[in-house]
Amino acid sequence: MKYIYCFLLTLISTSIFGQLISEELDSEIKRRVKLEINPSFSIGILLPDGTTKYYGYGYYDDSRKHPDSLTLYEIGSVTKTFTAELANTYLKDSLNKPLSTFFVGVENPKLDSITPYKLQNHIAGIPRLSNQFSPKNWSDPFNGYSNIILQEELRDLDPDTSNNWSYSNFGYGILGRVIEIVSGKSYENLMGGLLQEIGIDNTFLSLPTQGNQKIAMPTNIRTSNSNWNFTGPSRYSGGLVSNTKDLLSYLNFQRQNNPLFLSDSLQNPIQTRVSNLGKDKLFYKDGWFVLMPDSTTNIITHNGGTGGFISFVGYNKTTEFGVVVLSNSVNMVDDIGINILYPTFKLSHPERTIAYELAGDIDAGNTDNLVNQFNILKNENYPNNIIDIYWLERFHFGKSNYLISNQLSDIMVKELPKDWEVYDIKGQNLQKLKYYKKAIIFYEKALELNPENESLKNKINLCKKMYNRNTG
């Protein structure tokens, strides 16, 4: 019976995956490249017998070269799956101990309600980013993060104790630091040792600065971005740089060693209530998302993104196919990866948004009235995505182009009048431009919408001091 089942499964897999990238998918990928939505794609497919196939689209840098299986991309939050693997190795006897056990110098009784297991599964009630998170350079936001900053954030941490699932970069930074404390090892020793165990040698703990590696250029919305430098515990949330060849080897390692990847091993997955991939179809378990598109299919997956890259890794437990999709853009590629693993999954068809055209105007020096240009394009029903505007604003703010980022923040306030963060961003721009009285108004509006945010209170006090100093 087992032989017949395996034989039938092979026939089904051969039929479905005879053409690994369908004509429809190939056409959609090429369309995104042509429109500069994604300048390049590096795609790798792991077959049930362990063999691999690779595909490269577009150009990964100004040299006009196509990417291949060794082209390096920042993989962002896919790093969290490596950190979860380290937690399973080093925290077997500590997963359910309170954080106060590890951070003995931090006086915060609320750490007693948080355990490494909850951090690993995003049910610790930790915000996505710390409320005190305020990068010096938003185009490279995690550069400068440290153990000392983490300790300070833990002192003020006030977790939501409802145990609902809530994704947290901050939480995985804490988890990584716990692994260091328990193991007595550094990030370099921990992650480097895991890479050696897996048997991959072209995945890096940070962007390599020496050697002849092919490194994709970070881009978004037609704009060349900075590489992100993760420092301190933030490295456990998103610091790795890799390629499709190594990540397929990593998937193969997971399917051979991780019980979650075995066909009969999924127990008590956590409901995420994220509906992007279908209502009540996306779950989470020990560092990985689990997509259940139908009653018999489990797809183990994770994605990631930085300021100029996006990544997707996935494995279909039923068909035993794996896939990696890497791109030097922030436009999501999950639909491409899932479509390869589950061909009936519907592809999205992203379009160039208003932000692309504003980015072109900025590059051409046409920056006198970006708000008016936005309004004209919006009235013409040009595709709009406020997240793209947000990214463009943060990019120029990080580059100290405050006359530009201030105009973009006006657009954000207009489009999201009930979002505290856009008032905070507008205040930041006014503060940098030394319009302290106006900055106070926007910070106070942000605080009205988010009254527990201590960082906003500090910004208001600082602006009041600066205003009084300048007028006194």
In this structure, of 51-65, 167-181, 253-267, 311-325, the range with the lowest mean pLDDT score is: 253-267
Contact by Cβ (8 Å): 332, 303: yes
Spatial distance between the Cα atoms of 175 and 163, rounded to a whole number of angstroms: 17
- Percent of the chain predicted with pLDDT > 90: 81
In this structure, of 3-12, 63-72, 272-281, the range with the lowest mean pLDDT score is: 3-12
pLDDT, residue 472, reads 63
Distance, first Cα to last Cα, the chain: 88
**Where among 327, 350, 373 does a domain terminate?**
350
322 and 378 in a common domain:
no
Among 353, 354, 355, 335, which Cα is nearest to 345's?
A: 335
Contact by Cβ (8 Å): 147, 114: no
Q: Could you tell me the pTM of the whole model?
A: 0.87
Q: Is the pLDDT of residue 19 over 90?
A: no
Q: Is the pLDDT of residue 432 over 90?
A: yes
141 and 98 in a common domain:
yes
149 and 246 in a common domain:
yes
pLDDT in tens, 337-384: 999 999 999 999 999 999 999 999 998 999 999 999 999 999 998 999
**Where among 322, 350, 378 does a domain terminate?**
350
Average pLDDT over every residue of 230-250 = 98
Domain of residue 399, CATH code? 1.25.40.10
Question: Cα–chain-centroid distance for residue 323?
Answer: 18
Name the CA radius of gyration of the chain, rounded: 23
pLDDT, residue 16, reads 43
134 and 31 in a common domain:
yes
For residues 459-470, one letter each, b for 16 or more C-beta atoms within 10 angstroms of the residue's C-beta and e for the rest, the string is bbeebeebbeee
Residue type, 412: M
Spatial distance between the Cα atoms of 16 and 464, rounded to a whole number of angstroms: 65
- Percent of the chain predicted with pLDDT > 70: 96
pLDDT in tens, 110-160: 999 999 999 999 999 999 999 888 887 878 999 999 999 999 999 999 999
Alpha helices in 301-385 (DSSP H): 334-341, 354-363, 370-379
Instruction: Report long-range pairs for 257-264 (Cβ below 8 Å, ≥24 apart).
Output: 258/85, 260/285, 260/286, 260/288, 260/290, 260/300, 261/300, 261/315, 261/317, 262/317, 263/317, 263/318
Residue 266 binned pLDDT confidence (cut-offs 50, 70, 90): confident
Spatial distance between the Cα atoms of 437 and 468, rounded to a whole number of angstroms: 9
| Structural domains counted in the chain | 2
304 and 187 in a common domain:
yes
299 and 358 in a common domain:
no
Local structure of residue 113 (DSSP, 8 states):
G
pLDDT, residue 14, reads 38
User: Which residues span the domain enclosing 416?
Assistant: 354-471
The DSSP code sequence of 49-103 is: TS-EEEEEEE-SSTT-----TT-BEE-GGGHHHHHHHHHHHH-TTTTTS-GGGT-
**Where among 350, 377, 404 does a domain terminate?**
350
411 and 439 in a common domain:
yes
pLDDT in tens, 276-327: 887 889 999 999 999 999 989 999 999 999 989 999 999 999 999 999 999 9
| Token pair recorded at residue 438 | 């106006």
399 and 331 in a common domain:
no
**Adjacent-strand bridge partners of 262:** none
Among 359, 391, 363, which Cα is nearest to 374's?
A: 359
Q: Is the pLDDT of residue 56 over 90?
A: yes
Local structure of residue 32 (DSSP, 8 states):
H
Q: For tokens 């007693």, name the residue.
A: 112
Average pLDDT over every residue of 262-280 = 83
Average pLDDT over every residue of 26-42 = 96
271 and 366 in a common domain:
no
Mean pLDDT taken over the chain:
92
Residues 6+ positions from 130 with CB-CB distance below 8 Å: 153, 157, 170
pLDDT, residue 265, reads 67
Question: Cα–chain-centroid distance for residue 380?
Answer: 32
Average pLDDT over every residue of 16-30 = 84
Residue 15 binned pLDDT confidence (cut-offs 50, 70, 90): very low
Residues 6+ positions from 35 with CB-CB distance below 8 Å: 351, 352
- Rama region for 64: left / alpha / beta (φ>0; ψ in -120 to 50; rest): left
129 and 1 in a common domain:
yes
Domain of residue 64, CATH code? 3.40.710.10
414 and 344 in a common domain:
no
179 and 105 in a common domain:
yes
Average pLDDT over every residue of 183-196 = 98
pLDDT, residue 278, reads 78
pLDDT in tens, 452-470: 888 899 999 999 999 999 8
